[in-house]
Chain A
Amino acid sequence: DGGITQSPKYLFRKEGQNVTLSCEQNLNHDAMYWYRQDPGQGLRLIYYSQIVNDFQKGDIAEGYSVSREKKESFPLTVTSAQKNPTAFYLCASLSGGAFQPQHFGDGTRLSIL
């Protein structure tokens, strides 16, 4: 079955460490997105990529970095510069063209030890 796989489901990080969240899709979608979800705040866009080797900052990109070397993969690195990284992170993708809904993975919950 086609879908979006986020791993791991739960991730723990020590303060001062970088950590990378994985997002893989086999839907052959062009665009991919990373969102952060905090209680009572809905989803906020971190980064998005509409094509391989290209990505743009979203609303809350500070302290995060991404790469898009392959169409199916869009990893997110939470750097030590992100002062409050504890959150639920969601990856999404969609096929090319306008008016298409985004498809979401099941998320990764990141906690600071």
Chain B
Amino acid sequence: AQSVTQPDIHITVSEGASLELRCNYSYGATPYLFWYVQSPGQGLQLLLKYFSGDTLVQGIKGFEAEFKRSQSSFNLRKPSVHWSDAAEYFCAVDFSGGYNKLIFGAGTRLAVHP
């Protein structure tokens, strides 16, 4: 079965430090990739998406992600974390060829120390 793995359940970083959240997916033809962020008790907000083209994509709030087909990965990065970035982050993959059926990873909860 197709799956999405976020290996880190919790990550803690200091404010101003760099951040990388990992996402790996099971092999599939041309996946479409998303990162969402969720604040406690809220819905999900789209950070960025990858469909094709340049494998480094820029998103909102200073986030970027790099698609590496050879590693089946789509890691999310931010050069300098702010306290307001504390939230839960979800990687999601559309294996259905663009028909919008998403499979979500289990999420990574980010804590930011002052």
Which residue numbers of A lie inside 8 Å of B, CB to CB?
A: 4, 6, 31, 35, 40-45, 48, 90, 92, 94, 98-107, 109
Contact = CB atoms under 8 A, between A and B. Distances in A.
Contacts of B99: 98
B100 A40 contact: no
Main secondary structure of the interface of A (DSSP, over half): strand
19 contacts: A31-B100, A35-B104, A40-B106, A42-B4, A42-B90, A42-B104, A42-B105, A42-B106, A42-B107, A43-B92, A43-B102, A98-B98, A98-B99, A99-B51, A100-B100, A103-B46, A106-B43, A107-B42, A107-B43
Q: What class of interface size applies to chain B in its complex with A?
A: 20 to 34
B43 A104 contact: yes
Contacts, number: 56
Contacts of A90: 43-44
B41 interface: yes
A42 B4 CA distance: 10
